[in-house]
């Protein structure tokens, strides 16, 4: 993103430079074996179809095989952490100064989101660090890190704070959640407009799980990006099921069927290469 310029100091200057150049980094991460290359390929396709900006699309990954050649693949940023904290802490590496030789305004997207409308507004909305307001217990002020916009190097103190915080404090204070820690560790967090980012489980389904079983999810009436959490992904929602290998909580789950609702076939119109 040379057009934004490493010589520009402060996020405000980088924001203005991005507006002039209409240039932005869009990054994602893929590690382990939960998500195959097609998740990256479909995310790239959705981004390219839904923006008029100049995008440098980068995937930080430990396994680049099968990822389409238009995607710039780079190694995962290194983050050292106690395994008892869980598995999602590598995302904090995105806050590193000089990440992958990038600079300027950067939008991070989780692999399991579905873009259903133009996302240019995510690049023009002012703010130093933007994150989704967490839907559960919003009064706590935590964010959901499925969609984050920031400026390379401006939040590098997040890693310093992480390494200076004992694991037991992270467990007790932040419930071992990377997104909780991240929201509180940055200097100035703001939240995306609620109507831009909608959760599939809330916007497309009734809250009553019995009624859900007999419901076919509808495309949300508002929203630019649909976010999936818990044990539902775009892939499983297409089938009307939950995805067992995405269950966060442990323990015994006596569920005789994976079916949760009718197939959300409209997802296929958007979640594609």
- The whole domain housing 233 covers 197-269
CA dihedral 226, 86, 64, 144 (to 10 degrees): 20
Domain boundary among 191, 213, 243: 191
Which CATH number goes with the domain that contains 114?
A: 3.90.550.10
pTM for the full predicted model? 0.93
Place of tokens 């980068």: 58
Express each pLDDT in 68-81 by its tens digit.
999 999 999 999 99
Q: What is the tally of structural domains in the chain? A: 2
Strands of the 197-199 sheet, one edge to the other: 113-115, 225-227, 197-199
pLDDT of residue 250: 46
* Nearest Cα to Cα of residue 59 among 29, 89, 37, 32: 29
Of 191, 214, 244, the position where a domain reaches its end is 191
Q: Mark whether 72 and 149 lie in a shared domain.
A: yes
50, part of any domain: yes
pLDDT digits (tens, 9 = 90+) for 180-227: 999 999 999 999 999 999 999 999 999 998 999 999 999 999 999 999
In a domain, 14, yes or no: yes
Q: Rounded to the nearest 10 degrees, what angle do helices 167-174 and 178-185 cross at?
A: 90
pLDDT tens per residue across span 86-132 = 888 999 999 999 999 999 999 999 999 999 999 999 999 999 999 99
Burial class (CB in 10 A: 0-12, 13-18, 19+), 2: exposed
Q: Residue 240's closest CA among 220, 257, 223, 221?
A: 257
Would residue 212 count as lying in a domain? yes
Same domain, 65 and 45: yes
Q: Which of 137, 170, 191 is the last residue of a domain?
A: 191
Q: Look-up: residue for tokens 């050292």?
A: 80
Going by C-alpha positions, the residue among 50, 96, 49 that lies closest to residue 77 is 96
Query: Cα separation of 78 and 57, whole Å?
Result: 20
Residues 211 and 168 in one domain: no
Q: Specify the 3-state DSSP secondary structure of 199.
A: strand
pLDDT classification of 258: cutoffs 50, 70, 90? confident
Mean pLDDT to the nearest integer, 6-31: 91
For residue 48, being part of any structural domain is answered with: yes
């Amino acid at each position: 993103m040379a057009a934004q310029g490493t010589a520009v100091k402060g996020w405000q200057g980088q924001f203005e430079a991005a507006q002039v150049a209409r240039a932005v980094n869009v990054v994602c991460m893929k590690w382990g074996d939960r998500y195959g290359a097609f998740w990256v390929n479909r995310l790239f396709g959705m981004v390219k179809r839904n923006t008029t900006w100049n995008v440098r699309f980068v995937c930080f990954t430990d396994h680049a095989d099968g990822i389409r050649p238009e995607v710039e693949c780079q190694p995962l940023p290194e983050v050292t952490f106690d395994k008892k904290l869980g598995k999602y802490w590598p995302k904090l590496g995105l806050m590193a100064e000089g990440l992958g030789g990038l600079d300027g305004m950067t939008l991070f997207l989780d692999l399991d989101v579905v873009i259903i409308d133009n996302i240019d507004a995510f690049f023009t909305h002012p703010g130093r660090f933007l994150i989704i307001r967490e839907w559960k217990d919003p009064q706590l002020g935590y964010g959901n890190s499925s969609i984050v916009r920031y400026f390379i190097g401006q939040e590098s103190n997040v890693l310093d704070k992480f390494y200076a915080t004992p694991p037991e404090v992270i467990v007790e204070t932040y419930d071992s959640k990377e997104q909780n820690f991240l929201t509180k560790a940055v200097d100035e967090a703001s939240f995306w407009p609620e109507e831009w980012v909608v959760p599939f489980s809330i916007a497309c389904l009734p809250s009553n799980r019995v009624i859900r079983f007999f419901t076919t999810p509808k495309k949300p009436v508002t929203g630019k990006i649909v976010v999936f959490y818990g044990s539902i992904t775009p892939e499983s929602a297409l089938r009307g099921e939950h995805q067992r290998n995405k269950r966060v909580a442990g323990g015994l789950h006596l569920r005789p069927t994976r079916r949760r609702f009718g197939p959300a076939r409209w997802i296929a119109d958007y979640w594609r290469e």
